[in-house]
């Protein structure tokens, strides 16, 4: 059951904004050559970017550190695998992060959680 008041209150906490881009084929009508371009699927969507650092020793003397990045966003948004996700964090020094979706999202009644990895280019 979706509680509109709970979702509204939760989304007010999300100060970040994201834009989602997909890769689409475009054919030039003059040359009939096919190329690809980034097409916006969604722009300026409220979200929250979360960073977590995991440390593990795994029996080794040297610990390994891994950063886990998670995106919190409305459950109504459908983000396809492999798309480009650009998150803007508007604070004193505005920062922009570029990621791609990793794995299946965890969808809940008031939000969804999407694991992200750095965007290294289109496959």
Q: Which domain holds residue 39?
A: 4-118
Under a CB-based contact definition with an 8 Å cutoff, are residues 37 and 26 in contact? yes
The pTM score is 0.81
Quick one: pLDDT at residue 104?
A: 87
Q: Tell me, what CATH number does 22's domain have?
A: 2.40.10
Quick one: pLDDT at residue 120?
A: 87
Instruction: Find tokens 């059951």 and name the residue.
Output: 1
Give a yes or no: residue 123 inside a domain. Answer: no
Q: Is the pLDDT of residue 2 over 70?
A: no
Question: For residue 63, how many other CB atoms are within 10 A of its CB?
Answer: 9
Quick one: pLDDT at residue 3?
A: 77
Give the total number of structural domains in the chain: 1
Q: Is the pLDDT of residue 4 over 90?
A: no
The predicted-structure confidence for 13-22, as pLDDT tens digits, reads as follows 999 999 999 9
Give a yes or no: residue 21 inside a domain. Answer: yes
Q: Give the least confident one: 10-14, 56-60, 103-107.
A: 56-60
């Amino acid at each position: 059951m979706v509680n509109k008041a709970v979702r509204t209150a939760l989304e007010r906490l999300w100060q970040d904004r994201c834009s989602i881009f997909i890769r689409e084929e475009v054919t030039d009508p003059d040359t009939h050559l096919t190329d690809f371009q980034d097409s916006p699927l969604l722009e300026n969507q409220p979200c929250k970017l979360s960073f977590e650092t995991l440390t593990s020793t795994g029996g080794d003397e040297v610990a390994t550190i891994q950063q886990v990045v998670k995106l919190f966003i409305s459950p109504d948004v459908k983000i396809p695998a492999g798309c480009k996700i650009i998150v803007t964090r508007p604070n004193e020094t505005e920062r922009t992060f570029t990621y791609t979706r990793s794995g299946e999202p965890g969808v809940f009644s008031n939000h969804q959680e999407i694991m992200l990895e750095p965007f290294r280019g289109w496959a």
